[in-house]
């Protein structure tokens, strides 16, 4: 066992610790509630929840490897292995923050089991080992072998980083070597139907310093879509199917064109952003400007034409996919939690390419709105789909709205989103901070302490109750005399009047691409304060958004607001915002203590009549709105983000 | 050959003739353009159109009957026979108005062919005869045998009525006898997956006076849904499928409950309204008040909770179906032309049960808006799907909008809607007029002449340029001294200030259920004038309609209006109606000369930015709107019925 070390990246995971403020509380809940719940789910110990069988699948595969047969069948989705991987990854981050020998022992046990389920040649996948041993690598489009490998690689790197134990890493290096052998050395055709392995291999490369993993990631990025018929040919050669996907739908799997020629974000939204994140990783590490440019174009297409105001992406249930520019329906949105997490992955990697708040602002928007909305405030229920409008009686019920549930269910058979939330929030330091060429970047304002071990050694502690607090303080504690450093702080686009004060004195800083660069020798007890303007702001949609015509919504800081029935006499569809109405804030004790907003408006007193020639009466009304991420925590309820304005 | 006679109903088809005004022009176009085009399509004589093969299927079936084999395969939909039936029905109506020996000879030839395709036992269906001879009656859910029979029965009755020739009638009596034998005499289980035969058998009964056809219709109505598992059991017993329908979806085929217990309009919208029309027919003829009440409840559910302002029904492409109360999305509407035609069938039969304008107002709304919109103004292109909002780039393109085409295509492989429009418009007199117990009812104001042969013999000629003209004149021409009669004229719900004048003198009449009853001895040259108020009216949607929140639309008389890009600088999504703005009418020479309306409003000068904190600038704008039925006649174009109001 080597000494613990971390991926060669800006900061190691152990260099940041959260305090008990907003994000820290979430992280704590993930560790206390979500990760244990998840483990129980994987072990089928939750009564009434759909069976996972994910760990039993590894048992069955191990039996198959060791005895040539097994009693149990494979059960679950073809990518069931990835649930175990995502849990291990989150558990690893958790163990780093809060050592727990019992949890670690159970993880080690699972890792031993995974090792036993690996074939001699390095191949690892329980679906194929147990169920379809003859069909390995014959359905790259649908069978998710490389996707599962990717997640397990991420888990392996995380587990090695956080515990110093490299057994899973060795397992996944063998699997990666196997993949390398097949696709690079032996030049087998093909690329993953569901991208993920690309960014995972880049993590493995950064951790191990082994160039072949970078080379393999590059290979999968570069060959994708060069033969846009690959999946069609594959399905002709091996006519079996997992999902009955239409292999002619090349956009669904982002293989309609070589990645450098792709200009629109299309197809399955999670696949898309995982791919683009991997592309950005490769572009950065290989200094491939053409590839970086492709990433920039795709980023702009998503964020300028295809993204909900909550940072959600994926307009259609059909294919869980992007649809068309400016098509963002509210009540039928797919808006998968995982897709916004993938957007955060993509954003974070774009920040490695370009220091520009256009990436970090969106990272923040996706995190504090769509991603947090994915989880019940108590961490016990999850949304996959995060609609921007919910009408009980229609949402979750009408044929067109079966996917858009009005309340978070407990746990899904396909458990992709909850563990994804868990691994994101338990490694949030990586998104909050980065460093490059001696500059320390503060992207997100997350309460906690950063240990800087290069250049200016010492600690920076962020003190804030963000996202509600307008003030973010950076407290410095040099190891030596001072910390002579350049700190780059994001100035969010939504703040109209931002000040930076050093020990109470305003600094004149002109931000570059939305970052304020402050070079200073920070001494003990220096306090740098970012003072933001969190006035409530009205948001106007593009007139091209036919679903939002004539409507507005509100934000405060990074938070987008919505109106729920429970705060509004049960009926938000009848509400209209007054054009120049007053807006005020109020503190709600409910929902964990949030800042609610009250907006002057009207309530239509219409009856049930479908169409009327008489203008329905209107009363004035004070509309109460809450942060979007807190909706759906108080029972079945109407909800609406965009509200008509008169 | 017997002397021509007509179904025992209020008026015979030959008792009404259209003049050259609005509907008459349409009927003429149907005869000149649509019916011949349709015939060519059925004969596969249209280059570039999808193959129909419908007549060739009868050839193949005849060969099979006569020689035990055939060279050609069956081709097309399982219900391809019904295309021939609907064409024959429309051709029959056309022959009555405008004898055409060549067309009649070709119809006779087709009928001969149909006769040759009939089995000795009376069974008639080319799909089963040619393709699946062993599978007769084993898939009532999907295989449409009774649906096709129903349409051919309707054609048979129409052809007998209009030409006096009863060969097809005899064929279809034999088929009906065969069906009776199977389902009544031999008590075979089952009912049609796609209702239609019920209302057709009632027509056959009324024409032939043969009770067994009424009994058979009653049987199918009464047994429907009593065993709500019938289709599930059927598919277990005979596990073959035409469409891969989910037989567990009992609502799709309206068999989730006995028809008398059904309270919500659910499932496939065309099936639903065909069923309800048949139920109303049976209820009337059997004086079954319980069944009539079920019809009334279903009618109210459709028209008070599930109908578009255009009289369209069916909110979802998925299952071409009703969804939930108050769920009426505009851009993803299914809103099939045939469903609105079926709604007209249903309305007309409800009028036989109850004289109430709530039925005839909707009949008119569906006809002048959704149904006419289904056809290009030149009669050469057709919509199946009639969305209330179209955005090029999304409509017809996004995964969720593939069905909602922004322009009418030429002809579909599934040719259900065009011939349905044809048969409706060529028999419009049946919907315009009825008589009961000596009262003559004027439901629709269609220019033309009605011959009254009972009671008060003579002619009533309606002179009007309705739906644009506010005045509808009834001119009387008694055969004898006078026409001593009671005339009941619908007073439409949309007219706020309606007057009835006899030779210029206002009559004081208090309408009953929306009908003004006028008893008078009309003499030659008497003119009864209905003076309507066609002021443009703003329509307000129920606040429960989340797709229409904050929006309004306009109507003038029975016509609902929409805004098209071509009249509005290419962009209707940027338009907002002024709350108390002026509205004026203007005469458009385009689109066949219609009354357009101009509405004061605003144009948002927003950019492409998805979300903005700055209120976009607005210019005042005069919004031009056109009758909905004329949209899509001038190229690819935005269109919107509901427009935000500020």
SS (H, E, C) B307-370: ECCCCCECCECHHHECCCCCCCCCCCCCCEHHHHHHHHHHHHHHHHHCCCHHHHHHHHHHHHHH
The whole-number average pLDDT for the span B240-259 is 95
Model pLDDT, residue B412: 58
Contact assignment for A397 to B324 by CB distance below 8 Å:
yes
CA distance A401 to chain B (A): 9
CB A628 within 8 Å of CB A618: no
Contact assignment for A400 to B550 by CB distance below 8 Å:
no
Chain-centroid distance of CA A274 in Å reads: 10
CA distance A193 to chain B (A): 19
Residues B391 and B449 both lie in one domain: no
Measure the CA–CA gap between A643 and A541, rounded to whole angstroms: 11
Whole-number Cα distances in Å, A72 to A76, A143, A196, A484: 12, 20, 29, 61
B376-417 pLDDT, tens digit per residue, is 999 989 999 999 999 999 999 999 999 999 999 876 555 778
- Residue after which a domain boundary falls, among A492, A513, A531: A531
Chain A residue with minimum CA distance to B394: A324
Instruction: Count the alpha carbons within 13 Å of B390 in the hemisphere toward its beta carbon.
Output: 28
Among the partner-chain residues A323, A607, A613, the one whose CB lies closest to the CB of B537 is A613
Among the partner-chain residues A316, A544, A546, the one whose CB lies closest to the CB of B608 is A544
A327-359 pLDDT, tens digit per residue, is 999 999 999 999 999 999 999 999 999 999 999
Q: Which tokens hold the place of B560?
A: 């609902």
- Name the residue among A333, A335, A336, A357 with its Cα closest to residue A347: A357
Measure the CA–CA gap between B475 and B527, rounded to whole angstroms: 5
CA distance A23 to chain B (A): 26
User: Chain A partners of B545 at a C-beta cutoff of 8 Å?
Assistant: 573, 610
- Name the residue among A294, A290, A293 with its Cα closest to residue A272: A294
Residue B8 in this model has a pLDDT that exceeds 50: no
What percent of chain A is predicted at pLDDT more than 90? 89
Q: CB-based contacts of A286: which residues, under 8 Å, 6+ apart?
A: A214, A218
Per the structure, the complete domain to which residue B512 belongs is given by: 437-531
Interface contact B613, partner A, CB < 8 A: yes
In a domain, A250, yes or no: no
Residue with tokens 């899509």: B632
Q: CB-based contacts of B616: which residues, under 8 Å, 6+ apart?
A: A540, A543, B604, B605, B606, B607
Residue B356 in this model has a pLDDT that exceeds 60: yes
CA distance B514 to chain A (A): 17
CB B629 within 8 Å of CB B641: no
Interface contact B329, partner A, CB < 8 A: yes
Contact assignment for B400 to A329 by CB distance below 8 Å:
yes
Model pLDDT, residue A12: 83
| Interface with B, mutate which of A543, A568, A643 (most B CBs under 10 A) | A543
The whole-number average pLDDT for the span B143-156 is 98
User: Chain B partners of A607 at a C-beta cutoff of 8 Å?
Assistant: 542
First-to-last CA distance in chain B?
67
Instruction: Count the alpha carbons within 13 Å of B5 in the hemisphere toward its beta carbon.
Output: 11
Contact assignment for B400 to A571 by CB distance below 8 Å:
no
Beta-carbon count within 10 A of A52 CB = 27
Residues B523 and B547 both lie in one domain: no
In a domain, A498, yes or no: yes
Chain B residue with minimum CA distance to A579: B646
Q: Supply the CATH number for residue B450's domain.
A: 2.60.40
Q: Which tokens hold the place of A417?
A: 């989103």
ipTM: 0.94
Q: Catalytic pick from B27, B154, B218, B320?
A: B320
In a domain, A427, yes or no: no
CA distance A617 to chain B (A): 11
Q: CB-based contacts of B510: which residues, under 8 Å, 6+ apart?
A: B516
Residues B44 and B172 both lie in one domain: yes
Three-state DSSP class for residue B620: strand
Residues B525 and B561 both lie in one domain: no
Interface A-B, measured as beta-carbon pairs within 8 A, has a size of 189
Contact assignment for B398 to A607 by CB distance below 8 Å:
no
In a domain, B251, yes or no: no
Interface contact A580, partner B, CB < 8 A: no
CB B501 within 8 Å of CB B455: no
Q: Supply the CATH number for residue A309's domain.
A: 1.50.10.20
The whole-number average pLDDT for the span A400-421 is 83
Among the partner-chain residues B540, B551, B610, the one whose CB lies closest to the CB of A305 is B610
User: Chain A partners of B550 at a C-beta cutoff of 8 Å?
Assistant: 550-551, 576, 644-646
- Residue after which a domain boundary falls, among A187, A213, A244: A244
Residues A174 and A128 both lie in one domain: yes
In a domain, A417, yes or no: no
Measure the CA–CA gap between A219 and A229, rounded to whole angstroms: 18
First-to-last CA distance in chain A?
67
Domain count, chain A: 4
Residues A177 and A45 both lie in one domain: yes
Residues B491 and B559 both lie in one domain: no
Going by pLDDT thresholds of 50, 70 and 90, the confidence category of residue B322 is: very high
| Interface with A, mutate which of B305, B543, B559, B646 (most A CBs under 10 A) | B543
CA distance B643 to chain A (A): 8
Chain B residue with minimum CA distance to A302: B610
Three-state DSSP class for residue A152: helix
The whole-number average pLDDT for the span A514-523 is 97
Interface contact B537, partner A, CB < 8 A: yes
Model pLDDT, residue B50: 78
Model pLDDT, residue A8: 47
- Phi then psi for B153, rounded to 5 degrees? -65, -45
Measure the CA–CA gap between B155 and B90, rounded to whole angstroms: 8
Residues A153 and A54 both lie in one domain: yes
Instruction: Quickly list DSSP for A389-432.
Output: EE-TTTTTTSGGGTTS-SS--S--SS--HHHHHHHHHTTTHHHH
Antiparallel, parallel or unpaired: β B482-490 and B439-442: parallel
Instruction: Count the alpha carbons within 13 Å of A590 in the hemisphere toward its beta carbon.
Output: 12
Sort B172 into a burial class: Cβ within 10 Å, 0-12 / 13-18 / 19+: buried
A286-341 pLDDT, tens digit per residue, is 999 999 999 999 999 999 999 999 999 999 999 999 999 999 999 999 999 999 99
Model pLDDT, residue B2: 42
pTM recorded for the entire structure: 0.94
What percent of chain B is predicted at pLDDT more than 70? 98
The whole-number average pLDDT for the span A548-569 is 97
Residue with tokens 């970086």: A292
Measure the CA–CA gap between A620 and A67, rounded to whole angstroms: 74
What percent of chain A is predicted at pLDDT more than 70? 98
Contact assignment for A550 to B576 by CB distance below 8 Å:
yes
Contact assignment for B400 to A332 by CB distance below 8 Å:
yes
CB B177 within 8 Å of CB B122: yes
A23-66 pLDDT, tens digit per residue, is 999 999 999 999 998 899 899 888 877 788 999 999 999 999 99
User: Chain B partners of A645 at a C-beta cutoff of 8 Å?
Assistant: 550, 646
Measure the CA–CA gap between B531 and B529, rounded to whole angstroms: 6
Instruction: Give chain B's length.
Output: 646
Q: Catalytic pick from B107, B338, B416, B417?
A: B416
Contact assignment for A394 to B327 by CB distance below 8 Å:
yes
Q: What is the mean pLDDT of chain B?
A: 94
- Residue after which a domain boundary falls, among A469, A498, A531: A531
CB B271 within 8 Å of CB B254: yes
Residue A451 in this model has a pLDDT that exceeds 70: yes
Specify the higher pLDDT residue, A602 or A49: A602
Residues A294 and A223 both lie in one domain: no
Model pLDDT, residue A412: 58
Residue A453 in this model has a pLDDT that exceeds 90: no
Measure the CA–CA gap between A66 and A112, rounded to whole angstroms: 13
State the catalytic residues of A: 320, 416
Whole-number Cα distances in Å, B253 to A484, A544, B283, B601: 76, 38, 20, 45
User: Chain A partners of B579 at a C-beta cutoff of 8 Å?
Assistant: 646
CA distance B515 to chain A (A): 20
Interface contact B616, partner A, CB < 8 A: yes
Instruction: Give chain A's length.
Output: 646
Of the candidate ranges A11-20, A108-117, B166-175, B223-232, the one whose mean pLDDT is the lowest: A11-20
In a domain, B606, yes or no: yes
Measure the CA–CA gap between B10 and B174, rounded to whole angstroms: 27
Going by pLDDT thresholds of 50, 70 and 90, the confidence category of residue A628 is: very high
Measure the CA–CA gap between B517 and B511, rounded to whole angstroms: 7
Cis peptide leading into residue A467 (ω within 30°): yes
In a domain, A103, yes or no: yes
- Name the residue among B308, B306, B385, B330 with its Cα closest to residue B640: B330
Specify the higher pLDDT residue, A145 or A1: A145
Residues B520 and B597 both lie in one domain: no
A54-71 pLDDT, tens digit per residue, is 999 999 999 999 999 888
Measure the CA–CA gap between B301 and B477, rounded to whole angstroms: 42
Measure the CA–CA gap between B214 and B218, rounded to whole angstroms: 6
User: Chain A partners of B323 at a C-beta cutoff of 8 Å?
Assistant: 394, 398-401
Q: CB-based contacts of B55: which residues, under 8 Å, 6+ apart?
A: B42, B43, B84, B110, B113
Measure the CA–CA gap between B331 and B327, rounded to whole angstroms: 12
Residues A200 and A86 both lie in one domain: yes
- Name the residue among B249, B158, B576 with its Cα closest to residue A540: B576
- Give CA angle at A267 (A263, A271), nearest 5°: 95
CB A93 within 8 Å of CB A31: no
Model pLDDT, residue B1: 36
Model pLDDT, residue B52: 86
The whole-number average pLDDT for the span A249-258 is 97
Instruction: Quickly list DSSP for A101-150.
Output: HHHHHHHHHHHHHHHHTS-TTS---HIIIII-TT-TTS-TTTS-HHHHHH
Beta-carbon count within 10 A of B333 CB = 25
Among the partner-chain residues A331, A393, A399, the one whose CB lies closest to the CB of B316 is A399
Q: Is B59 left (phi over 0), alpha (psi -120 to 50) or beta?
A: alpha
Residues B298 and B343 both lie in one domain: yes
Interface contact B606, partner A, CB < 8 A: yes
Residue B3 in this model has a pLDDT that exceeds 90: no
In a domain, A238, yes or no: yes
């Amino acid at each position: 066992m080597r000494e613990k070390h971390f991926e060669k990246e800006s900061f190691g995971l152990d260099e940041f610790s959260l305090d008990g403020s907003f994000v820290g509380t979430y992280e704590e809940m993930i560790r206390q509630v979500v990760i244990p719940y998840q483990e129980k789910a994987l072990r089928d110990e939750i009564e009434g929840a759909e069976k996972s069988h994910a760990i039993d699948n590894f048992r069955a595969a191990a039996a198959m490897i060791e005895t040539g047969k097994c009693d149990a069948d494979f059960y679950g989705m073809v990518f069931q292995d990835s649930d175990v991987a995502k849990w291990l990854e989150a558990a690893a981050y958790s163990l780093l923050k809060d050592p727990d020998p019992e949890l670690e022992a159970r993880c080690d046990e699972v890792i031993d089991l995974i090792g036993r389920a690996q074939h001699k040649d390095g191949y690892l996948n329980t679906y194929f080992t147990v169920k379809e041993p003859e069909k390995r690598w014959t359905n790259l489009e649908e069978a998710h072998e490389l996707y599962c490998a990717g997640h397990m690689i991420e888990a392996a790197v995380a587990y090695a980083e956080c515990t110093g134990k490299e057994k899973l890493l060795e397992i996944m290096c063998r699997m990666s070597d196997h993949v390398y052998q097949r696709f690079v050395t032996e030049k087998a055709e093909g690329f993953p139907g569901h991208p993920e392995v690309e960014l995972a291999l880049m993590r493995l490369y950064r951790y191990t310093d082994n160039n072949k993993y970078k080379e393999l990631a590059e290979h999968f990025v570069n060959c994708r879509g060069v033969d846009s018929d690959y999946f069609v040919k594959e399905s002709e050669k091996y006519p079996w199917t997992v999902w009955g996907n239409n292999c002619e739908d090349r956009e669904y799997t982002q293989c309609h064109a070589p990645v450098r020629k792709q200009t629109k974000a299309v197809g399955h939204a999670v696949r898309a952003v995982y791919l683009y994140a991997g592309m950005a990783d490769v572009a950065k590490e290989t200094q491939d400007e053409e590839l970086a440019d492709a990433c920039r174009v795709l980023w702009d297409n998503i964020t300028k034409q295809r993204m909900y105001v909550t940072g959600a992406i994926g307009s259609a249930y059909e294919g869980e996919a992007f649809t068309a520019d400016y098509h963002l329906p509210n009540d039928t949105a797919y808006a998968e939690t995982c897709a916004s997490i993938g957007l955060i992955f993509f954003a974070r990697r774009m920040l490695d390419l370009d220091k520009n708040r256009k990436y970090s602002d969106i990272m923040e928007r996706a995190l504090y709105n769509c991603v947090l909305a994915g989880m019940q405030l108590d961490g016990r229920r999850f949304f996959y789909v995060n609609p921007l409008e919910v009408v009980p009686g229609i949402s979750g019920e009408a044929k067109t709205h079966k996917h858009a549930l009005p309340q978070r269910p407990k746990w899904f058979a396909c458990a992709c989103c909850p563990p994804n939330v868990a691994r994101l929030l338990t490694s949030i330091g990586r998104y909050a901070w980065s460093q490059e060429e001696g500059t320390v970047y503060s992207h997100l304002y997350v309460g906690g302490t950063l240990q800087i071990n290069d250049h200016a050694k010492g600690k920076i502690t962020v003190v804030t109750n963000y996202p509600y607090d307008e003030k973010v303080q950076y407290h410095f504690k040099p190891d030596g005399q001072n910390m002579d450093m350049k700190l780059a702080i994001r100035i969010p686009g939504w703040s109209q009047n931002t000040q930076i004060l050093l020990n109470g004195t305003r600094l004149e800083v002109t931000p570059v691409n939305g970052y304020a660069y402050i070079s200073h020798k920070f001494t003990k007890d220096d306090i740098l304060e970012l003072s933001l303007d969190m006035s409530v702001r009205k948001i106007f949609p593009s007139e091209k958004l036919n679903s939002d015509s004539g409507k507005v919504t509100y934000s405060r800081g990074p938070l987008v607001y919505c109106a729920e029935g429970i705060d509004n006499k049960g009926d938000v569809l009848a509400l209209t915002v007054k054009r120049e109405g007053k807006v005020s804030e109020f503190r709600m004790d409910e929902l964990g203590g949030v800042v609610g907003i009250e907006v002057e408006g009207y309530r239509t007193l219409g009856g049930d009549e479908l169409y009327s020639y008489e203008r329905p009466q209107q009363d004035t009304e004070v509309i109460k709105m809450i942060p979007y991420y807190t909706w759906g925590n108080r029972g079945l309820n109407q909800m609406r983000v965009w509200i008509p304005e008169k």
